Structure 1
């Protein structure tokens, strides 16, 4: 009859320590990735505000609403705004003259943000959502910049960094919809499913 040897307590302890180190490294890595996404989203929001004020200072107009854009940049794809001081979200027609889309083209043509100047496509954020501008959202008034598809933890962190961390109050608010009807501001519920749009005044 052969003797069967099992693992010693020391060997089992070493394996458990190694597993613990691996799990700790994975969790720390996930935390670092989340923190990097939060920084990127916050930098995007700050960058849009800086570009907006830079454009206003240089051209005395609001990007997207600039009535002199076609004469300033003679590209065939350049479209001017109506100069009424409001960045409209939904145009009467066609979609290519929505001032909320022209906003990005004007900033790119002026060199305040990077990207192709022949497109009005809003930029994406670090979690695969988009960054948009519109007049008013979630009870905020005036021109706001919004970023979408944020998990609750990131949405809450962005709100906390700029404001009070509560989705329904303050100068930064969030909810689960976007667009002209963005009025259902809500607190951030981290259920692993919901995605939030966070908006702040520019």
Structure 2
């Protein structure tokens, strides 16, 4: 996929929205390096945009601008906002997914949304702005990845793709339901090709 796809505004990564533009400029104001700018954008989304389930917040958001306006979102919407803030500042950013157990072990499974950013001195680097809590300590610490969740069992996966746009299975759920508890009952998932571990 061409790099310009990871710099484009779109329906969900709508950094052409005035509020997203303004926030992107304010985050860039005191950043004296690419890493400093990425860190500021990442920590803003991680710490200031509250995870829908952790804080039991409505409404369900999907577009970057909605996550910013309402200051809440599932991991998916938070990843859309982080991509938007980075792209608004000319830094290529994409979307990544993990497949994780919803509980402590076993089925059901769901997708978890995170980001990849292209750093000029490193290449693609994954980072996870879902929001920290006890047992979750995601950080921006290149070249080492410090994600929210580790893969713990065969049916969980780090999906290798870096997407320029969110997966339809994700946006369909976020746009169908208005309340966080409804999304929690219908979390998106994908079927693994090697069904022996699905």
TM-score, normalized by the shorter chain, greater than 0.5: no
Instruction: Tell me the TM-score normalised to structure 2 length.
Output: 0.28
| Greater RCO (CA < 8 Å, at least 6 residues apart) | 2
Instruction: Tell me the TM-score normalised to structure 1 length.
Output: 0.27
